[in-house]
Structure 1
Amino acid sequence: MFENLEEASSSPQSSEGKKSNSGASLFVSDSPMNYDEVTPLKSSQEGIKSPYLIRLVFEANDEHNNVYHHRKDRNLPMTMEYSRDIGKSNSNDIILKMDNCYKLYDNLVFVKPHKVLHNTKMRPRWVNKTLVEILGSEFKMPKEVVTEMIEENVISVKTAKPNSISLLQYKLRPNDQIVTVDWKNEKPVLYPRFIKVLYHDDKFLVIDKPTSIPVHPAGRFVKNTLHHILEMAYSKKLYLLHRLDKVTSGILIHTWNAELATIYGEKLKGGSVTKCYLAQVYGDFPEITTTNTVDLNGQTFNVDDHGFIHVKNKLVYHQNEWTFIWRAKVTDTNESHEEEPTNSIIDTAYTLVKRIYYNSSQHSSIVLCVPITGRTHQIREHLRVMGYPIINDVGFELTNEKAEQWENPWPEKWSIMKQFKDDDDKCAESLLKMQFERHHKQCFKEGDFFIHLHSYYYAFHDENPVEFISDLPNWCQNLDPSFQQNIIIDMCRKINSKATIQKF
């Protein structure tokens, strides 16, 4: 119940580099990279494995566990697949037999509900409110459901100063905790037939993340996460170096121990890493070659000598939320036309954006995005404010259309929990059936599962430089010859993130 409180192609061969048939390339040199003159890095011959697949195999022991079951009134897309890979076999491929808690239904992966104990710390806005008020406003739980759950001791309060007041009338204090015995209904994700591993050695595990799958456990996702599935595949603990939104695809880098994660995590923060994303946006994104500034969607942005538009704005962290604060003119001025909340943390988001392709028939553009900072939803927000939102990006909040379709699950869920309070297996099966039926009533959009944003290039610049290049996403596969991947890679290699941060 309290889940959402936990919430964020083959590369060209260089003169000295070794080309990978897979689309991933790794280059290593013995000396630090020269930021003034970027040159191809020497290929490492140690520890390199040719890319391979983690193939997901599900049991088929009931009518729901069938990937070919499909509703006739809609066409949910499969996770971004590279057809040239799916039929290929590699001796390094991992066949991962999924636990029977994973169920396939309508090309989606569901997780059988499981019982959890939530200990939720107080939020400042909850102080002096009752459980009925908090759970009704925050989680849309009907008053009668909350009342019964309190009476059945399913919901309780851990407090340092207990008193004789009924829990229904009790007003919560700053150090209280709400304790709940709940059943976690994880949200479904698109069925990925495989996860592509781009590179694997004793330091890194680099994958081409499928879209729709969250990276790490948070909110309504625990087992239906990439991190959980990868740890099942390798039977080892993994450490994330960075994160991607669940609707984003592309390069995702892990390490095998906490020490490496700390070392490379600091590099990510310090500007010694170049990150490049590809995004397909609606409209004819401007190609700029001569001006120093450009006006877009009522904002003025600086443009550098290489044609990159510099998008920079403040973020304010206030009451457990980050908010983007935009100025009337996005330049170097310090004048702000929006008030910043008091008692808040001020930070900055900074992205470079450049058009690399325009498709006149689709009236869409592909842009190269270089996040200098790494804030939540940064690229998505910056492109939206520029007036060129990412294709399929339906936004970060529930739309009115979805709100009208939404049906409160709590009355039915609590009814099942009461009916099978002494039989966990039957309770889990009944809650899963409820989830299937609710899914059958919903109308999904592609943007609920994927957007046209892809993590394409990562390079670490230190005493042992290393770079990773992913395959192009499906939405880049059928473009005309003017879209040349080697030009994009060269462009990525020449980006000087460290110098940009120093100026910034």
Structure 2
Amino acid sequence: MTYIIRPATVSDAGHASTPLSTRSLPLPVVDGVAPSYVWLPAGDWPDLLTFLIQRFPAISGITWVARMDKGEVVDANGIRLTSAAPYRHGGRIYYYRELDAETPIPFEEVILYQDERLLVVDKPHFLPVIPAGRFLHETLLVRLKKKTGLSELSPIHRLDRETAGVIIFSRDIASRGAYQSLFQHRKVDKVYEAVAPSMPQLVFPLIHQSRMVEGTPFFRMEEVSGEPNSETQIDLIEHRQENSLYRLHPLTGKKHQLRVHMAALGMPIVNDVFYPDINDCKGDDWSSPLKLLAKSIAFEDPISGQRLHFESNRTI
């Protein structure tokens, strides 16, 4: 059985999707948090409450009933759903995600630029971009909504929680697709910096190409034989004894591409817990950030035609 559950303005993968305007949502944005929604698949649940308890085993029936009693579970038309509501497959219900406890992330984002269409931010390490898992208020999207009051904010591209640096948000739903298409059609010049083992035997700059597919476990990627679908240009910026500072220019945008490519070359990025091997989760240990920084993004604005360039002020 497949379910689709997501915040109302972004897709599960972290890419900005064709979003719903917050003005059209049946529940309001509260404290920077938009309601989540779930499509109801075909099934024989006797009522909606039974479905919700089965779908979300970590949330008790008592909690769902309390949410319903407060009017925090509604259908697409904003009609309140009670614990006796029948199950109607094909529908969509809206609700607020809640966390019992959320660890504050002690690093601040910095707004680099904003106009009527875009908000550009310098993200710190460890801060997720969108709500997921154990993160809700301690995410870049919710923080920015609270800070700016811009309820229509939505990320245009993806940046891992472990990676710091430049990320761009749309603040205007009408022009959002035009900016998303820049990333989809590889019309954005992205430059990263990384600290990794020194490799005196390699000649820089170099290009690494490979075929990347989803690996095991599901959150990792891996290289396999076949026609390349990923490409990264790598250059040496500065030699630092056992480690060096590298400039990485991804010409494609596969998930974890830079981390996979560096590990494949025998020079995994410092403090990478996924590549080449999975290490123990560090939880809320902030002492060893992944030494990867989205240093700059440049593109031709599809609306104004102006060449835009944004650069992080962070260093690694």
| TM-score, reference length from structure 1 | 0.42
2:152 aligned with 1:271, yes or no?
Answer: no
Tell me what 1:357 maps to: 238
Note the 1:460-479 alignment, pairs <5 A: 460-461=299-300, 463-473=305-315, 475=316
Q: Distance in 2 between matches of 1:398 and 1:386?
A: 14
Distance 1:206 1:397, change over 3 A: same
Tell me what 1:384 maps to: 263
1:187: Cα distance to partner? 4.5
Counterpart of 2:297 in structure 1: which amino acid?
Y
Counterpart of 1:288 in structure 2: which amino acid?
V
Q: Tell me the matched-pair count.
A: 255
**What residue ranges of structure 1 are gaps of 5+ in the alignment?**
9-100, 102-113, 123-130, 156-173, 290-306, 328-332, 335-346, 406-441, 476-504
For residue 285 of structure 2, the aligned residue among 416, 420, 444 is 444
Distance 1:277 1:285, change over 3 A: farther
Superposed CA deviations along residues 359-412 of structure 1, whole A, max 9, x for unmatched, are 11xx1011111122222222112212221111111127996755xx9xxxxxxx
Q: Aligned to 2:213, what secondary structure does the other structure show?
A: strand
For residue 216 of structure 1, the aligned residue among 121, 127, 130 is 130
Distance 1:371 1:221, change over 3 A: same
Highest Rg: 1 or 2? Answer: 1
Note the 1:245-260 alignment, pairs <5 A: 245-260=160-175
Q: Distance in 2 between matches of 1:464 and 1:182?
A: 40
1:315: Cα distance to partner? 2.0
Distance 1:287 1:233, change over 3 A: same
CA RMSD of aligned residues (A): 4.5
Superposed CA deviations along residues 221-252 of structure 1, whole A, max 9, x for unmatched, are 22111111111111112122212111211111
Q: Aligned to 2:174, what secondary structure does the other structure show?
A: helix
1:326: Cα distance to partner? 2.0
Tell me what 1:308 maps to: 206
Residue 212 of structure 1 contacts residue 246 of structure 1 at CA under 8 Å; is this kept in 2?
yes
Note the 1:415-426 alignment, pairs <5 A: none
Q: Distance in 1 between matches of 2:279 and 2:159?
A: 26
Residue 154 of structure 1 contacts residue 181 of structure 1 at CA under 8 Å; is this kept in 2?
no
Residue 275 of structure 1 contacts residue 371 of structure 1 at CA under 8 Å; is this kept in 2?
yes
Distance 1:270 1:190, change over 3 A: same
2:86 aligned with 1:205, yes or no?
Answer: no
For residue 224 of structure 2, the aligned residue among 323, 326, 337 is 326
Tell me what 2:17 maps to: none
Counterpart of 1:231 in structure 2: which amino acid?
K
Tell me what 1:282 maps to: 197
For residue 241 of structure 1, the aligned residue among 156, 159, 168 is 156
| TM-score, reference length from structure 2 | 0.64
Residue 170 of structure 2 contacts residue 176 of structure 2 at CA under 8 Å; is this kept in 1?
yes
Distance 1:185 1:396, change over 3 A: farther
Note the 1:61-210 alignment, pairs <5 A: 184-185=99-100, 187-192=102-107, 194-210=108-124
Q: Distance in 2 between matches of 1:397 and 1:121?
A: 39
Tell me what 1:348 maps to: 229
1:154: Cα distance to partner? 6.3
Q: Distance in 1 between matches of 2:286 and 2:297?
A: 30
Q: Distance in 2 between matches of 1:255 and 1:119?
A: 24
Which of the pair has the greater relative contact order for Cα pairs under 8 Å at 6+ separation?
Answer: 1
